[in-house]
Amino acid sequence: MADISASILVAMHIAVVTLSGRELASFDAEMTWGKREICERVERLRGSLLRSARLVCESTVLSDQHTLADLDLTEPATITIVIDVHHADVLLTASDDHTAALLSAETGERILALVGHNAAVSCVAMTPDAALVVTADCTGVARVWNGGTGDCVLTVRAANEVSGIDGVAIAGSRALFATASMAENAATVWSLESGQPVRVWHHPEVRRVGISPSGRFVMTVSFGGGQMLWDLDSGDCVRTISDDEITLDVAFSRDGELMLLAPLEGPAKLYSMRSAECVLELDHGNAIAFAVAITPRGDMALTVAGDGVARAWSTATGECRLALVSDASIRSVGYSCCGLSGIIATGDVLGEVRFWCPDTGRCLGVAVAHAETVRCIVGVSSAALGL
């Protein structure tokens, strides 16, 4: 667990600091404030972190129903914010059972069920703090959810009912999200505030979409061949990575420096976004990779191949470090910086999510997350927020 302490001065001024002494926030508090009012004034304490925060004053826990006045403070006191890592480090899953879910990466517990789609949820994305979640289905509907409460805050139709949505991405830094529809031959960037389209690119058979950490660039990946980098402000194509490979899936490192592609033919390929050159090939033998992911630090590439096996590869050497075999065919893979060592998660055709040690490949646990196939897994971690 990560603990954060807040010192209350005589004038009810609160300074929120980490245990190491780094100050996170400083503000005047009113006696009517409760847990939410205090937490909302700590920058970046949102989404799964806000939901998992516990406020303790001496032996009293400040719940959602209590205020500072209930603590009967007559002199300066100290409030400690405790982050429950079981709920701070989460995995987002999408399934053919028409739902998405937020799971604890530590325990496998379902924290939130996102219910509202009328078809299989084809793809999902979330902000680094899990404050906002985007889900999309096979009938062309995309929904934006509050990651802390599970409320649907926005619904857009990004494609017609036959076309469906094949890829989504989100850039919380610029309040934008993007959708890709292969049948519509279009990638669209939407405003998270208004739900209106901001930019549309017509890219034949575009299957996946990604947004750079700054929100400045958008990458579109085509099933028919070609990966193109677009400037969101100007709308211009600034780089073409490849124009002839049919691609099944793509993943980007958190810093936007690496891109991992799963071509229809041949090995998976790791590209440097700076040079637009392939730096590694990950050979699966006779099997073809169709789902990929990259760890936040970019040190490990994760793939799922047609043989139903998930693999972990070193991005430094291209060595296959782990081969993960489940009781049922694996269809999706993700990673969360859970605790100090992190965790690999795989989803299978039975709706189960398995958690694996990235060092040894040992299965740490199994969660029945969905009633049908887990199509997609995305990981997030409080460690990325510097808390």
pLDDT given at position 291: 93
Q: Which residues contact 155 (CB under 8 A, 6 or more apart)?
A: 141, 142, 143, 144, 195
The arithmetic mean of pLDDT across residues 232-238, rounded, is 93
pLDDT at 11 exceeding the cut of 70: no
Q: Which residues contact 360 (CB under 8 A, 6 or more apart)?
A: none
Work out the pLDDT band at 188, boundaries 50, 70, 90. very high
pLDDT given at position 174: 76
pLDDT given at position 122: 95
Q: Which residues contact 44 (CB under 8 A, 6 or more apart)?
A: 129, 385, 386, 387
pLDDT at 9 exceeding the cut of 70: no
pLDDT given at position 123: 95
Work out the pLDDT band at 137, boundaries 50, 70, 90. very high
Q: Where are the alpha helices (DSSP H) in the chain?
A: 35-39, 47-52, 85-88
Q: Domains in the chain, ordered, with CATH?
A: 2-83 (3.10.20), 89-385 (2.130.10.10)
Instruction: Give the angle 191-381-130 at the CA atoms, nearest 5°.
Output: 25
pLDDT given at position 6: 47
pLDDT given at position 10: 41
368 CB burial (10 A radius; 0-12, 13-18, 19+): exposed
Amino acid (one-letter) located at 183:
A
On whether the CB atoms of residues 101 and 334 are closer than 8 A, the answer is no
pLDDT digits (tens, 9 = 90+) for 68-122: 888 877 666 677 776 665 556 889 999 999 999 999 887 888 989 999 999 999 9
Does the pTM of the predicted model rise above 0.85? no
pLDDT at 181 exceeding the cut of 90: yes
On whether the CB atoms of residues 20 and 3 are closer than 8 A, the answer is no
What backbone phi and psi angles, to 5 degrees, belong to 168? -140, 155
Q: Which helix (H) or strand (E) holds 187?
A: strand 186-191
Q: Which of 88, 106, 110 is nearest to 364 (CA)?
A: 106
> In whole numbers, what is the pLDDT of the chain averaged over residues?
84
Q: Which of 256, 240, 237, 279 is nearest to 169 (CA)?
A: 256
pLDDT given at position 20: 44
C-alpha distances (whole Å) from 236 to each of 210, 231, 240, 246, 291 are 16, 5, 11, 23, 29
Q: Which residue has the higher pLDDT, 154 or 203?
A: 154
pLDDT given at position 127: 84
Q: Which of 339, 387, 343, 337 is nearest to 46 (CA)?
A: 387
Q: Coil, helix or strand for 323? A: strand
pLDDT given at position 35: 83
Residue 253, beta-bridge partner list = none
The per-type count for the chain, helices as H runs and strands as E runs, is: 3, 34
| HSE-up of residue 43 (Cα within 13 Å, Cβ side) | 8
